[in-house]
Structure 1
């Protein structure tokens, strides 16, 4: 869970940067930043799934995993529907994706620190 949390934290930094780029008026962030964000988040998700299947996760981490899966689906949708087609990213989708990810990250941290 710790390694997953670190990867999700790094992905979050990229997500904040991308949101700032979009809210500054650019239609979308650079491709390399979006791909790096997705790669880090996918690696974290993979580690969390592996932990769930092999050793099990506390209830908060299980909830975190479910929300991260939903956030990943939303991020993949935004990437494939908009970013890959060079269309402006819809701010509403960004807010939904980010909200799910932030709540999931908070739950994962709570599970890590024993709340």
Structure 2
């Protein structure tokens, strides 16, 4: 697989992850404090797969500047997602709406920055 295909595959995986995140957020904002664990786990696994590919590409060959900044935001979002999962979801504590929104904002902005960096390189 060539380098550009690797980066674009990472972006597609992260975009699919974002779609799952929208489903999770929709469930949370509809009044249910705990989205289904199965959807949350698939969301996290897809995010980990996309981030792994992106990190591999970044460390092996580098990224354009905007994509590096987006990668940092995605890593912050991943940390936030881990906290949401381990601190709230698994302990059956209602997911805080502000935390969910912050996680989503960091991930969405990071994804757009990475996508623009990858497709414009």
TM-score tier by shorter-chain length is: over 0.9
Alignment-derived partner of residue 4 in structure 2: none
1:23 aligns with 2:29: yes
Question: What TM-score, normalized by structure 2, do the two folds share?
Answer: 0.92
Alignment-derived partner of residue 113 in structure 2: 107
Give the deviation of 1:86 after TM superposition. Answer: 1.2
Question: C-alpha deviations, 1:24-71, integer Å up to 9, x for none?
Answer: 000111000000000000111111110011111111111111011000
Distance, in Å, in 2 between the alignment partners of 1:33 and 1:14 is 7
Match of 2:62 among 56, 60, 66: 56
Query: Displaced runs of 4+ in structure 1, greater than 6 A?
Result: none
Distance, in Å, in 2 between the alignment partners of 1:109 and 1:78 is 25
- Provide the alpha-carbon RMSD of the alignment: 0.9
Pairing 1:30-45 to 2, within 5 Å after superposition: 30-45=36-51
Question: What TM-score, normalized by structure 1, do the two folds share?
Answer: 0.97
1:95 aligns with 2:101: yes
Alignment-derived partner of residue 53 in structure 2: 47
